[in-house]
Amino acid sequence: MAIKPRIAQKDVTLHILKTFGIHMSKKLGQNFLIDDNVVDGIVSAAKVAEGDTVLEIGPGIGTLTQGLAEAGAHVTAVELDRRLLDVLGKTLDGYDNVKVVHGDILKIDISQEINKEKYKVVANLPYYITTPIIMKLLEDRLPIELLVTMVQKEVAERMAAKPGGKEYGALSVAVQYYTEPEIMFIVPPKAFIPAPAVESAVIRCTVRTEPPVKLESEKMFFRVVKAAFAQRRKTLANTLKAGGLEKELLNQVLAQAGIDGMRRGEQLSIEEFAAIANAWTNLK
């Protein structure tokens, strides 16, 4: 296995970009890591051990990939930007535990690329599609045990938010339904080139083996959550009606769930959303 000069340094990254004539694409969310400590921090947050299988999304020029490979992981790295394939061929040359796949993570069939009973996802995500990527990985119920991702700090706060605050929303409920999220550390803009306008955070989401609530219908649960947060300022009674709950059933559903219809979605726990969804499913 090759041990090379670390890519996560400003001068090394600039040299590689210059050599290959690469201008970073804002459209593709290209902010490359130039801080070695951050790469090491991500690898250790993901508890990467010899022999682990890791899916990396957006390897860029291979900065984090190198850290993962040196920790002994078998890495499958999916990169959309064709221009970076030549670069990755060079920067990852000699690592026999890395496979680079050219494709769009939102479109490829991941199970075709990784055929393992359990794997980890580790990525410095392109910020323009953070939420669709995370939701796809979770909703597709891939055999992922852990997701460790760099995201905008504000998105990490929304993912990990508890009821009651303005950060708490449909993303919080969905992420916490599938996983147990923990914000691991905050990363300043200067850890990247180009420096993004916002702070970032590394969040670790441990995928649950059992859902945290018992549901009659998962579809109904997400319908209720979506309705409750579609108009955050309105009462639950109003948002549920707007979400299709017939007026005649509304009071029965709320009574059976033991929830006051004057409350707002942002105050409800996952258990309370589940109670409404189960009551609605039973009474309809």
Ligand X SMILES: C[S@@+](CC[C@H](N)C(=O)[O-])C[C@H]1O[C@@H](n2cnc3c(N)ncnc32)[C@H](O)[C@@H]1O
Q: Is 236 annotated as a binding residue?
A: no
Q: How far apart are CA 131 and CA 171, in angstroms?
A: 8
Q: Decide: 262 and 242 in contact? Cβ < 8 Å.
A: no
Least distance in angstroms from the C-beta of 119 to ligand X: 17
Choose which of 12, 22, 31, 144 interacts with ligand X (CB under 6 A).
31
The smaller minimum CB distance to ligand X, of residues 58 and 181, is found at 58
Select 48 or 78, whichever has its Cβ closest to ligand X: 78
The verdict on 266 binding ligand X (CB under 6 A) reads: no
Number of H helices, E strands in the chain: 12, 9
> Is 55 annotated as contributing to ligand binding?
no
Q: Which stretch binds ligand X (CB under 6 A): 102-110, 138-146, 221-229, 243-251?
A: 102-110
Q: In this chain, which stretch among 43-51, 72-80, 204-212, 268-276 interacts with ligand X, using CB under 6 A?
A: 72-80
Round the CA-based radius of gyration of the chain to a whole number and report it: 21
CB of 127 to ligand X, least distance (A): 7
Q: Which residue is nearest to ligand X (CB)?
A: 58
Region 79-98 residues binding ligand X, contact defined as CB under 6 A: 79-81
N-term to C-term CA, the chain? 60
Question: Which residues does 40 contact at the CB level (< 8 Å), separation at least 6?
Answer: 67
Indicate which single residue of 9, 17, 20, 28 sits in contact with ligand X (rule: CB under 6 A). Answer: 28
**Cβ distance 42 to 150 under 8 Å?**
yes
67 binds ligand X (CB under 6 A): no
Contact status: 105 vs ligand X (CB under 6 A)? yes
Asked whether residue 33 is marked as a ligand-binding residue, the answer is: yes
Q: In the bound complex, what is the minimum distance in angstroms from residue 80's beta carbon to ligand X?
A: 4
Residue 242 in tokens: 């707007």
Q: Which helix (H) or strand (E) holds 183?
A: strand 179-187
Q: What residues between 107 and 126 interact with ligand X by CB under 6 A?
A: 124, 126
DSSP H helices in the chain = 10-20, 36-45, 63-70, 83-91, 110-113, 130-139, 153-160, 170-178, 218-230, 236-242, 247-257, 270-283
227 to 246: interface string for ligand X, x by CB under 6 A: --------------------
Smallest distance from ligand X to CB 32, Å: 4
Comparison of 58 and 169: residue with beta carbon closer to ligand X: 58
Rounded Cα distance between 102 and 83, Å, is 10
CB-based contact 265:236 (threshold 8 Å): yes
Stretch that binds ligand X, among 66-74, 100-108, 242-250, 256-264 (CB under 6 A): 100-108
75 binds ligand X (CB under 6 A): no
DSSP assignment of 112-124: HH---SSEEEEEE
In the list 68, 69, 78, 110, the residue contacting ligand X (rule: CB under 6 A) is 78
The answer to whether residue 196 forms part of the interface with ligand X (CB under 6 A) is: no
Question: Phi, psi at residue 214, to the nearest 5°?
Answer: -95, 125
Angle, vertex CA 195, rays to CA 28 and CA 104, nearest 5: 15
In the numeric block, which tokens belong to residue 30?
């290209």
Task: Give Cα separations from 155 to 136, 193, 202 (angstroms).
Answer: 16, 20, 10
- Residues of this chain that interact with ligand X (CB under 6 A) are 28-33, 57-60, 63-64, 78-81, 104-106, 124, 126, 129
